Amino acid sequence: MKKCSNTCCTRFYNVKNWLIERCDDLLNLFYPRLCIGCGEILNKHEQDLCLTCLMQLPVISESKLIENFIEERFYGRVNIEEAISYLYYEKETMSQHVLHEIKYHGGKELGYRLGKMFGEHVRRAWFQQVDALVPVPLHPNKLKQRGYNQSEWIAKGMAEELNVPVWTDILERSVENPTQTKKNAIERWENVRGIFQLNCNRDIEGRHLVIVDDVMTTGSTIEACVLPLSTVKDIKISVATLAVVD
C-alpha cells in the first residue's frame, strides 16, 4: 500500500483536531460543563474547577503544616512519623463540594488531579524516604457499588509526583460499617475499631508506608488502619489525607 506523505498526514490530523474541537464546542453549547465550586460554565481548558476556584482552594500553608497540628491528633493513640493534609475541609464551602464530587459523584479523575497537586505540594519537604502509599480500603460491597475507591485515586495522583508505588494489597476492610458522618469521636472509634486487617504477602518489615485517605475528622479511621500495621516489625507509618476538618 502506498504510504501517505508527511504533509498529507499533517493536514489530515489538523482537520481531525479541528472537527473534534468544533464537536466539543457544540456539546459545550447544549450541555455546558459547570464548575463544581461556583457553578459557572467552564472553558474548554478547565476541568471540574474554574481557574478562580482552583486558586481559591483552602490549601493548608507549609508554615501551618510544620506546626504538626495533624500529627498531634494521634498523640497517645498510635505512632506516626509524619501526618499531612492538603486542604481544610469546611461544610457548605467549596472544599465540601469538591470532596463530595470525588466521593459520591464519580469524581475519581478529580481525586487523581488533586492528588497530583497534593504530591507536588509535599514532595519538597515531606515523605522523603517512603516505600509506598497505602489507600484506606473500601469494603468489597462498597467498592462494587461505587465502582472505585476515591482514596486509591488520590494516592495514584500523589504517587506520580512522589515517584513511589501504590499498594492496595496491604490492608482489607472486612466489616461494612455505617458512614461516620454525624457520629461523635467515641462513636466514630466504636464504628471503625477492628474493621481493617493485614492481608499481605509482601515483606513490609522495616518499610515506611503512607496511609492515604480523602478526609480526616477525628483520625479514627486512620488509627484503625495503623493498629494492624503496627504489629509488623520496624514498620514506619505516615498519613496523608486530601482534606482535614480543622
Task: Please report, as ranges, the residues that interact with Zn ion according to CB under 5 A.
Answer: 35, 37-38, 50, 53
Residue 31 DSSP one-character state: S
CB of 79 to Zn ion, least distance (A): 40
- 236-245 and 83-89 strand pairing: parallel
Question: Which CB, 46 or 81, lies closer to Zn ion?
Answer: 46
CA-CA distance, 96 to 102, in Å (whole number)?
Answer: 10
Q: What's 126's DSSP letter?
A: S
Say how far apart CA 11 and CA 5 lie, in whole Å. 10
Q: Torsions phi, psi of 123, nearest 5? A: -65, -25
Of 47 and 68, CB closest to Zn ion: 47
Q: How far is the CB of 169 from Zn ion (least distance, A)?
A: 38
Q: At closest approach, how far in Å is the CB of 101 from Zn ion?
A: 12
Smaller CB separation from Zn ion, 8 or 34 = 34
Query: Nearest approach, Cβ of 38 to Zn ion (angstroms)?
Result: 3
Minimum distance between the CB of residue 86 and Zn ion, rounded to whole angstroms? 18
Q: Is 86 helix (H, G, I), strand (E, B) or coil?
A: strand
| H-helix segments, the chain | 6-30, 51-55, 62-66, 94-104, 108-122, 140-146, 150-162, 185-192, 220-229
Nearer CB in complex with Zn ion: 43/128: 43
- The least CB distance from residue 52 to Zn ion, in Å, is 5
Closest C-alpha to 122, from 150, 90, 93, 82: 82
Q: Which is nearer to Zn ion, 50 or 83 (CB)?
A: 50
Contacts of 46 (CB under 8 A, 6+ apart): 35
Q: Could you identify the residue written with the cell 470525588?
A: 102
Residue type, 88: Y
Of 93 and 199, which has the nearer Cβ to Zn ion? Answer: 93
